[in-house]
Structure 1
Amino acid sequence: MTPALRTGILFALLLLAADQASKWWILEVVRLPEVRNIPVVMLGPLGLDLTMVWNRGVTFGLFSGEGSWNHLILAALALVVAGFLLRWLARAETRLVTYALGAVIGGAVANVIDRVRFGAVVDFVDAHAWGWHWYVFNLADAAIVCGVLALVADALIRPETQRKEAP
């Protein structure tokens, strides 16, 4: 096992555990499905609420369907993508890429766990500003988005001279 693979998997597992712990807290302690909405922070026009949403699709609710197999198909697709990302992780050239891939893998697997357990992903963070609400999300979603942004930044910013030559 390469050092990058070991580090990335450990980071993915830490994110997965934090995500699942936050969802347990939302469902079992806060009991957000019963409460529906809890305002948390309001700083002028900026706010953060806890709002319960069962996301049956993928990012931004795309491909949401009510079919009995829809959540399992989406879960299987996420696992296939995570498998390809693990292969990339084993050859990661920088710490940024290692942690970014770990974030995407950990977030994807965390949401797969939700799909298998509940048939949907538990989303609960509702950020808003000036009356405009972003899509409700969770820690796994944030990890995926940050990981993808880091991978894009690496691809755009890292000088070509720092990249390994293809064999």
Structure 2
Amino acid sequence: MASRRSSARVNFRASDSGAEVENPTPLLLLPDSTTNSDGGQVQSLSSELYFDVVLSKTHLSDGYRMGLPNNISSKLPLFEVPAVLNYRGKSWDIMYKGRSKIRKWFDCGGWKIFADDNCLNIGDACIFELMEYSNQKIVFKVQILRGNIPSKNHFGMRPDEPIVID
């Protein structure tokens, strides 16, 4: 496979005061860490009862499976309970399936609707913060962090092109 070299080069020059950059290229400034790539604000968590997941094919195709980890599911009932996923002022009704002591999950149909309505993709991350839970209702506040990487940055370089330092 032929190797491609980036047109971005950085030359260093040794001096008594240390290494100096001869042709500095301005660095790409990343978005403010409180701004999500889809324009929404990333919010601080208000409790320690949350879980996060980077979405994979399992979460977004065929069975649309979204299991809940032990740190959350151990607090929840061992039976089916109506649940609500809140994201950006909208709500999705979903069923929490807690019938098994080993495995607890969101119902596939409700999770699929949430995923489709919010255009979730493999590589996106979701943070589910448990806001309310009882034997009658469970409420999660959801934050979505998009995992898409732009095909080119504003210098015209792609993320798979190496930066060569001579």
TM-score, structure 1 normalization: 0.25
Which has the higher Rg, Structure 1 or Structure 2? Answer: 2
Structure number with greater CO (CA < 8 Å, separation at least 6) is 1
Higher strand residue share: 2
TM-score, structure 2 normalization: 0.25
